[in-house]
Amino acid sequence: MKLPLLVLAGMLAAAPMNAQFAAGPDAPRPDKKPKDVSVHGDVRVDEYFWLREKENPAVLAHLKAENAHTEAVLGPAQGLREKLYQEMTGRMKEDDSSAPVPLLGWLWYERMEQGKQHPILCRRKDAPGAEEQVVIDVNRLAKGKEYTLLEDYQVSASGARLVYLMDWTGYREYEPFVLDLATMQRVPQKIGKVSSLTWAADDDTVYFTTENEAKRSDKFWRYHLASGKRELLYEEKDNIFDVAASRSADHRFVFCSSGSKTTSEVRAVAAADPSGKPAVLLPRVTDHEYHAEHRNGRFYLVTNKDAKNFRVVSAPVDRPAEWTEVLPHQPAVKVEGVAMFHDFMAVMERERGLPQIRLYDFATGAARRIILPEATYEVMDDDNPDFTAAEFRFRYESMVTPPSVRVVQGRTGAVRVLKNKEVPGYDPARYRTERVEATAGDGTKIPVSLVYRADLDRARPQPLHLTGYGSYGISESASFSSSRVSLLDRGVIFATAHIRGGGEMGEEWREAGRMQHKMTTFTDFVGCAEFFCQAGWTTPAQLVISGGSAGGMLVGAVLNLRPDLCQAAILDVPFVDVLNTMLDETLPLTTSEYVEWGNPTVKQEYAWMRAYSPYDNLKAAAYPHVLVNVGLNDSQVPYWEGAKYAARLRDVRTSQRVTLLHCDMGAGHGGVSGRYDSLKETARDMAFELSALGLAGK
């Protein structure tokens, strides 16, 4: 509900914010080239459609001008940015290594070295005094390149070879390389770009998937390294489905999983059969989602058939439709996946918005939950490549507790810590985390995770940063950020809203915020912001909101609903040009999104999106300070969405507040690849936020 004007005025008067930005040169104004994009009798004209022309020199010149403008406006905060960067690097243990992962007599780990941007993948024999072998030095591979990311790596079943995937642009197009681990020499191959890849049971055969022109992963292949033989095993024709290659934890089967946002179909081929044909486990049925594992001659399926929030069943390999219940459906508990081992499985669950781990003992059929210590936290599975292991590795962290790698005994439930991430100069006792509940307009309670300084003065409103996502059934994590400490130490409260459309409270929570119900996601977020204002945590003049990707759509939609809600907003790689994107089937990801937002060629579904599309609903209003971040090589949300949004926002806004656009000219959806470069990006965003709040001098 919108705050009464008298209450809102009182809040604004209680905590005036004087933004600290430079006047700077006039903002870039791209040419207007009106294009009629009307459909269904709804007249829409897009004057900035031409910014899609990535190779057009005028587009690149405009993006560079936007970057220069942003730097000029943030000029007074240059000293603050450097201070923030030094603070964040000071909390980074620059020489560090991950907890070693045992596999086939070796310990595998990644190291970071001071002054270097990227990890170094290493291994050593699992014996006292063993010497280190450097397997992949990503820093060496990155020389002379603007972007370099080691996306994934996997050891073959015998341990003789390793395959790894590199992204050289940020476009999420992966080039595979195969190493002979005895000689550390690359094995010749002509696999080509892949979207996923996994080993068969031998050291010669790999299975992989590739993408079509619209970046939909649609083909499943087998490749033999020795012969160079390449076989197409399956092509996914349905344009709302993507395919992915994986292997079972015991390495007995390779899976080709076809999936839309709401429906699954899995094919399996024996990993030891180099000429085998993949067979469907269960034919696809609309809205039936399932995921497969294998153990001891049986497939284990996490399925939502007759189980809204999923259950676990098993079936003989030759009769995958003959199910035996393993873990029955619990309506209040969502099963998110399993990690399979010979003697037990670790079941990842979520209840009341919190992630949980349940251990299931195959010998006894007993199941037990691990007790986790804080009110709000994040837990996820870690690297578990050894099917015969007696322990399950997982990561634990909270908004005040740095990440740790822990192991739990599969049968006893005993937990021990392998490695705590060291954060120099950080004392968790100085901070507090809690979970509160806001009330949405329809009375639904929305959980929100909070972190703030323990000595915060709760007697008066404080600056507050509220973020959210709320799409695809993805749960927003209550995770740790050492960079965020720089905001907390300047008195900023940080809050994550677990709004509908996400998966925090189960599948019903997701369904309540998608398709025709999508507006609920945005009004939930508004309700969370109003809760903090009404409860005295903050005021609109002290509030900053943010979101990335679909979370950027969230922020854009919220700003159109309530431009008076906050002092500033940050939109990272935002999905804001919803209608134009969803009407263009040639763009990456578009068709697969039909079951998330709707298909705009259907008039009724077009109307759903028309009501909230941020770009199409910009209007004459006093919008807050806005920073939009995009990546030129973004394959998920093209750079032009944020660029067009910023241009049109400047056209219509009635306030004198700033609208800034920053484009990473050599990165994609995930931002820059180097760890130091990433901190510089974070420092820029924080400097914008603190400047908007009038806190740049802190």
Q: Report, as residue numbers or ranges, the catalytic residues.
A: 549, 634, 669
What is the sign, positive or negative, of the torsion defined by CA atoms of 546, 80, 428, 115?
Answer: positive
Residue matched to tokens 């969370």: 528
Tokens 């600056």, located at residue: 463
Question: From start to end of 159-213, where are the E strands?
Answer: 161-167, 174-180, 185-186, 196-199, 205-211
Secondary structure (DSSP) of 223-260: EETTT--EEEEEE---TT-EEEEEE-TTSSEEEEEEE-
Q: 533 near 3, Cβ under 8 Å?
A: yes
- Give CA–CA dist 167/670, Å, rounded: 11
Instruction: Give which of 342, 386, 377, 380 is closest to 361, Cα–Cα.
Output: 342
**What is the CB neighbour count within 10 angstroms for residue 654?**
11
What's phi and psi for 70, nearest 5 deg? -60, -45
- Indicate the angle between helix axes 57-73 and 639-652, nearest 10 degrees: 60
> Distance between CA 46 and CA 58 in Å, rounded?
18
Report residue 248 as tokens. Answer: 């079972």
Q: What is the DSSP letter of 142?
A: T
d(CA 435, CA 523): 20
Task: Give dist(CA 165, CA 572) in Å, integer.
Answer: 26
DSSP 674: S
